[in-house]
Amino acid sequence: MRYLPLTEADRAAMLKTIGVSSIDALFAEVPAAARLDGLLDLPLAQGEIEVERAISHMAERNIVAGSVPFFIGGGAYRHHVPAAVDHLIQRGEFLTSYTPYQPEISQGTLQYLFEFQTQVALLTSMEVANASLYDGATACAEAVMMANRVTGRKRAVLSGGLHPHYRDVCATYAEFVGFDVVATDPQPGEDESLGQLIDNTTSCVVVQSPDFWGELSDQSELARLCHEKGALLVVVVTEILSLGAVKPPGEMGADIVAAEGQSLGNALNFGGPYLGLFASRDKFVRQMPGRLVGETVDAEGRRGWVLTLSTREQHIRRERATSNICTNSGLCALAFTIHLALLGESGFVRLARLNHAAAVRLAERIERLPAVRLVNHSFFNEFTVRLPCPAAPVVEALAQKRVLGGIPISRLYPDRPELADLLLVAATETATEDDMDRFEQALREVLP
Amino acid sequence: MNDWSQALSLHTPAAAPIAVTFSGNRALQIEERLIFEQDAPGRCGVDLPEPPAFRPCLAGLERRGPVGLPSLSEPQVIRHFTRLSQKNYAIDSGLYPLGSCTMKHNPRLNEKLARLPGLADIHPLQPVSTVRGALELIDTLSRWLKTLTGMPAVALSPGAGAHGELCGIMTIRAALEARGDPRRRVLVPESAHGTNPATAAACGYAVDPVPANAQGRVDRSALERKLGPDVAALMLTNPNTCGLFENEIVEIAAAVHRAGAFFYCDGAKFNAIVGRVRPADLGIDCMHLNLHKTFSTPHGGGGPGSGPVMLAASLAPYAPLPWLVLGQHGLELVEHKAGAAETAIGRLKGFHGQMGMFVRALAYMLSHGADGLRQVAEDAVLNANYLRVLLERDLSLSFPGPCMHEVLFDDRFLKDSSITTLDFAKALIDEGYHPMTMYFPLIVHGAMLIEPTETESKASLDEFAAVVKSLAAAARAADVARFHSAPSLAPRRRLDETAAARKPVLRWLPASPASGAVAAQ
Ligand SMILES: Cc1ncc(COP(=O)(O)O)c(C=O)c1O
């Protein structure tokens, strides 16, 4: 077996040194009834060629986003990732190290995480950011639980414009962790008046921007209403690139930002691994979940970085920890950091503009189709349209024509017939004019 | 061997002045500034076209003012991150005996396959008809995991081990509530990983600690005394965090079940028993696996991981969404609470789980096969026992006798030397090794938990043992300065963690005095 360096001679010599006659002696503590003598009913070892063939066969049965006109978003976005990113994150020193528990020999990881925290704070216009969580949805649930701790209250108000997976994750945590969530109905294009739902038992209001439907809104007034009642405002961002074009949550009064960072540096990967971003205000830092990297000096006075404020965490605080998270999304955070370092100020802003421009062009085309209506008043790179018929079969028919043309809202809200005709469409810098032509053409053929 | 290890341990005395060079560099000891300190407006590491004129549709919410990101070119970015990488220790550079973390070799085939466009460039909400291969892959992975554990169901969405624990304890609570029997306590051995009590508490349970016995196993009679009608579950790690098999596990499982509670097993140490023991045969109801440990998906400097949860039939109905089921048209994704999935606890994560990790773990399993996986466990246990025997006269073995895939020492051998476990670990850094896990588990004083994994050769273990022996000899000879000043050969000397926590600097700021001082270096 190519990954196992011990030879039979090594094994024999080592057993001798240990002073046992066979490997079985080392498993003597296993109750006899639970010892497996033979092999399990699974295939035997295979070489690279066979394994590559088997997995490639599975890969070939999927339609690759990059091989067709592709317009799907909904919390996971297809962007071009510069070649340098994937090259760098595969350096063994990054790929095959672990959580930087020994800072003297982990300065590489610690320094990029410090850069990552700084980048996230800058994008969101918040004061502090942590070193990542699993994904945007879990970051959102952690944000609510942090707001509960900060306010000493247990009732969160969720906007109907929150990504349904995020809402569902919050609901699961609420049920088992023990807090209440009140969610408004999903009503694209409508005003929500979330302010009316805030009272002095509310720990936070959670809103998404751009929201699940792609709509932008100013949260400043909502922030004021939250703060008036002693509640926090949690802003969720599922498309972090939007912050290259739109006003950041920190400038609208957000207390916590929970976001998905997949758009930068990370492939679609059928949904994971992704990158939970989490930012907040300095004054709440001791209630934050997850790892934090801080600057310090070494014994010679040289600048260096360490994991810090660990007394919040499970390995020190155990049952009183702010979160149980241990392993996070380190390498995804590195990919994000490198991609954003390559983009820099001008590249990030331009990439955002390119996305917005692509979506504006696509919206103009789709709106021209008979009986199709744009639901949004505003958007960044994603918007919702109302079709003259249920969207799910349309998407299926488009897929038959090898066009991946958006998400039928019914896939996420199957129990809401009033949303069945809605289609969520995204366009990024990767969409060409030709892709849009083919999408438009296919839609013309498929729509009644 | 002795002479050679002595030679290896030559080191710079603590007080030796560090030569300052004009460039600030000493050979490959590079001082690398932050990206923010390398900013020069006008540069960019990507070439993007200016979009053709268009009418923005941002509702007056345009970002005003700069973001504050630094501008670098591609060569600078490549050099920056390459230099940072060179400040890291990694499995690729040497033995990484970090107990409880299973720092084994990460096969590069798995990286290649995870990047196949047919797996990396597919969207989680593409029509199911366009991702048949992805579902097949997830199903194949599930079948391997179920066969290896003997358990009938698996929840694949958890993001890592701790998330898997949360999933497991939630399903247990759901099952108890469904039978109208809510309970309030979860028993957690004192030796448990911090995520166990943190998880139980997060799910609303009172955490009741169970002591260990003198053999490093859970004290069964103490455990049985604590069992009662209000105990929801026992969370037991097996092999446990002392690197030992819980030899009374079958009796423990029976007692837990007699009390009407569920048996949760922390499967972080499955590497020791894969292919040799099926957890189902031990009476386990629920167990998370860490694909980033046993199944070698890379640790990536802290993640991402993946924490599938194996479930007994009694818990399977509560598995989180989505479910993958065999329907009329082949494999189908069930994404909502409806029909059979009405009982699901709901969603724990966006989309369908850590697909990129699934691909790597499946490639790992297909490569090893049933025979190779069994060999993995055997070699992991053999390597740990070999180190145990080589080192047990030099360090203090916490519990005598064979261990599983990791071996636990404590600091009795350092008694009265003024050298601590921390000092000993830092001295290992000067010898070119990543230290073992320190101060965990908590049930022995100054713990040193060593896990070599099966991917180390005998020669590599011999070298490591020689170095540890020479350090132990130095400690016995009271060469205290060497330990207290270590590390002196790493990119940094010991870092001031107290200062970091007292006045946290968690991001770069243009005017930060500390940053300014270094920029001038
Ligand atoms: C025994 C044990 N349990 C649980 C965990 C948590 O797993 P993860 O870091 O994947 O969340 C670890 C991780 O180190 C562990 O060693």
- Considering only CB atoms, B173 lies closest to which of A127, A176, A302, namely A176
Q: What pLDDT is recorded for position B9? A: 37
Assess B134–A contact: CB distance below 8 Å, yes or no.
yes
Mutation to test the A interface, candidates B39, B62, B69, most A Cβ within 10 Å: B69
Q: Ligand 1, residues A135, A326, A329: which to mutate, most atoms within 8 A of Cβ?
A: A326
Asked if A259 contacts A206 with a C-beta cutoff of 8 angstroms, the reply is no
Q: What pLDDT is recorded for position A192? A: 87
Asked if B257 contacts B286 with a C-beta cutoff of 8 angstroms, the reply is no
Q: What pLDDT is recorded for position B25? A: 66
Assess B125–A contact: CB distance below 8 Å, yes or no.
yes
pLDDT, mean of residues B207-224: 97
Interface list for B 212-241 with A (CB within 8 A): none
Q: What pLDDT is recorded for position B108? A: 98
Helix, coil or strand: residue A195? helix
Q: What is the CA radius of gyration of chain A?
A: 25
Residue B477 dihedral angles phi and psi, to the nearest 5°:
-80, 5
- Whether ligand 1 lies within 6 angstroms of the CB of B142 is answered as no
Query: What is the sign, positive or negative, of the torsion defined by CA atoms of A110, A111, A112, A114?
Result: positive
CA distance A402 to B208: 57
Question: How far does residue B269's CA lie from ligand 1's centre (Å)?
Answer: 9
- Considering only CB atoms, B456 lies closest to which of A5, A91, A114, namely A5
CA distance A58 to chain B (A): 4
pLDDT, mean of residues B362-383: 98
Quick check: B90 pLDDT over 80? yes
Mean pLDDT rounded to a whole number for chain A? 97
Quick check: A51 pLDDT over 80? yes
Question: How far does residue B288's CA lie from ligand 1's centre (Å)?
Answer: 10
pLDDT, mean of residues A2-30: 98
Q: Who contacts B148 (Cβ-Cβ below 8 Å, separation ≥6)?
A: A40, A42, B274, B275, B278, B373
- Fold that domain B111-364 belongs to in CATH: Aspartate Aminotransferase; domain 2 (3.40.640)
Residue B29: band (very low, low, confident or very high) from pLDDT cuts 50, 70, 90: confident
CA distance A72 to A427: 8
- Every domain of chain A and the residues it spans: 65-79+345-446, 83-340
The distance in angstroms from the start CA to the end CA of chain A is 58
Q: What pLDDT is recorded for position A189? A: 84
Q: Who contacts B416 (Cβ-Cβ below 8 Å, separation ≥6)?
A: none
Ligand 1 atom closest to the Cα of residue B101 is 14
Mean pLDDT rounded to a whole number for chain B? 93
Interface list for B 406-425 with A (CB within 8 A): 425
Question: How far does residue B414's CA lie from ligand 1's centre (Å)?
Answer: 28
- Reported as a single tens digit per residue, the pLDDT across B258-282 is 999 999 999 999 999 999 999 999 9
Interface list for A 21-60 with B (CB within 8 A): 23, 25-31, 33-36, 39-48, 50-52, 54-60
Quick check: B16 pLDDT over 70? no
- Reported as a single tens digit per residue, the pLDDT across A136-148 is 999 999 999 999 9
- Provide, as residue numbers in chain A, all residues whose Cβ is less than 8 Å from the Cβ of B64: 247
Q: Ligand 1, residues B157, B193, B405: which to mutate, most atoms within 8 A of Cβ?
A: B193
Quick check: B396 pLDDT over 90? yes
Query: What is the sign, positive or negative, of the torsion defined by CA atoms of B99, B100, B106, B111?
Result: negative
CA distance B517 to B521: 7
Q: What pLDDT is recorded for position A20? A: 98
Q: Who contacts A173 (Cβ-Cβ below 8 Å, separation ≥6)?
A: A141, A144, A145, A179
Whether pTM > 0.90 for this model: the answer is yes
Q: What pLDDT is recorded for position B278? A: 98
- Whether ligand 1 lies within 6 angstroms of the CB of B421 is answered as no
Strands A232-237 and A256-260, sheet pairing: parallel
For residue A260, the surrounding DSSP H or E stretch is strand A256-260
- Whether ligand 1 lies within 6 angstroms of the CB of A326 is answered as yes
CA distance A200 to chain B (A): 24
Compare A440 and B8 and report the one with higher pLDDT: A440
Are A100 and B290 a contacting pair at CB < 8 A?
Answer: no
Ligand 1 atom closest to the Cα of residue B192 is 1
- Reported as a single tens digit per residue, the pLDDT across A369-419 is 999 999 999 999 999 999 999 999 999 999 999 999 999 999 999 999 999
> Can you state the angle between helices A48-60 and B355-391, rounded to 10 degrees?
150
Quick check: B179 pLDDT over 80? yes
Q: What pLDDT is recorded for position B20? A: 60
Assess A316–B contact: CB distance below 8 Å, yes or no.
yes
Residue with tokens 């469409």: A425
A83-340: CATH number:
3.40.640.10
* Residue minimizing CA distance to atom 9 of ligand 1: A327
CA distance B413 to B472: 8
Report the share of chain B in percent with pLDDT over 90: 91
This complex has an ipTM of: 0.98
Question: How far does residue B293's CA lie from ligand 1's centre (Å)?
Answer: 9
- Every domain of chain B and the residues it spans: 111-364, 370-493
Asked if B311 contacts B298 with a C-beta cutoff of 8 angstroms, the reply is no
Q: What pLDDT is recorded for position A190? A: 84
Residue B30: band (very low, low, confident or very high) from pLDDT cuts 50, 70, 90: confident
CATH 3.40.309.10 applies to domain B370-493: no
CA distance A273 to A330: 10
A65-79+345-446: CATH number:
3.90.1150.10
Residue B514: band (very low, low, confident or very high) from pLDDT cuts 50, 70, 90: very low
Are A399 and B362 a contacting pair at CB < 8 A?
Answer: no
Instruction: Report CA-CA distances (Å) from A285 to A255, B306, B417.
Output: 11, 27, 39
Question: How far does residue B290's CA lie from ligand 1's centre (Å)?
Answer: 7
Instruction: Report CA-CA distances (Å) from A203 to A164, A219, A224.
Output: 20, 17, 14
CA distance A287 to A279: 12
A371 dihedral zone (left: phi>0; alpha: psi -120 to 50; beta): left
CA distance A41 to A213: 48
Residue B459 dihedral angles phi and psi, to the nearest 5°:
-60, -40
Would you call the peptide bond into B239 cis, given omega within 30 degrees of 0 as the criterion? yes
- Considering only CB atoms, B70 lies closest to which of A45, A344, A396, namely A344
- Reported as a single tens digit per residue, the pLDDT across A57-76 is 999 999 999 999 999 999 99
